[in-house]
Structure 1
Amino acid sequence: MRVIYESAELLAATAAARLAVTLADAQAVRGTASVVLTGGGIAAKLYSALRDAPYRDAVDWSRVDFWWGDERFLPTGDPERNETQARAALLDALPVPPENIHAMPATDGPDGGDPDAAAARYAAALAGPFDVVLLGVGEDGHVASLFPGHPEVDITDLTVSAVRDSPKPPPTRITLTLPVLTSAREVWLVAAGAGKAEAVASALSDGPVPAARVRGAERTLWLLDAAAASRL
Structure 2
Amino acid sequence: MTGVIVHPDQDVLAAAVAARLVTVVTDAQAARGAASLVLTGGGVGTAVLAALAASPARAAIDWARLDLWWGDERFLPTGDPERNETGARAALLDHVALDPARVHPMPAAGGPDGDDTAKAAARYASELRAAALPADGGVVPSFDVVLLGIGPDAHVASLFPGRPALRAEGSVTDVHGAPKPPPTRISLTFPALRAAREVWVLAAGEGKADAVGRALGGADPADAPAAGVAGRERTLFLLDRAAAARVPAAG
TM-score band w.r.t. shorter chain: over 0.9
SS of the equivalent of 2:31 reads helix
SS of the equivalent of 1:56 reads helix
Q: Which runs of 4+ in 1 moved over 4 A?
A: none
State the AA in 2 paired with 1:201.
G
Which residue number in structure 2 is paired with residue 115 of structure 1?
A: 117
Work out the number of aligned pairs and report it. Answer: 231
Give the RMSD, CA atoms, in angstroms: 0.6
1:175 and 2:177 correspond:
no
1:222 and 2:214 correspond:
no
Query: Which of 171, 176, 180 pairs up with 1:159?
Result: 171
| Structure 2 counterparts to residues 8-87 of structure 1, below 5 A | 8-87=10-89
In structure 2, how many angstroms separate the alpha carbons of the residues matched to 1:196 and 1:210? 14
1:5-64 Cα shifts (integer Å, max 9, x gaps): 010100000000000110000001000000000000011111110001000011100000
State the AA in 2 paired with 1:160.
V
- Normalised to the residue count of structure 1, the TM-score between the two structures is 0.99
1:69-108 Cα shifts (integer Å, max 9, x gaps): 0000000000000000000000000100111110000012
In structure 2, how many angstroms separate the alpha carbons of the residues matched to 1:175 and 1:224? 23
5+ residue gaps, structure 2: 132-140
State the AA in 1 paired with 2:228.
R
- Normalised to the residue count of structure 2, the TM-score between the two structures is 0.91
In structure 1, how many angstroms separate the alpha carbons of the residues matched to 2:88 and 2:181? 19
State the AA in 1 paired with 2:202.
V
State the AA in 2 paired with 1:149.
G
1:194 and 2:206 correspond:
yes
SS of the equivalent of 2:6 reads strand
1:135 and 2:137 correspond:
no
In structure 2, how many angstroms separate the alpha carbons of the residues matched to 1:51 and 1:168? 29
In structure 2, how many angstroms separate the alpha carbons of the residues matched to 1:17 and 1:144? 23
In structure 2, how many angstroms separate the alpha carbons of the residues matched to 1:160 and 1:44? 22
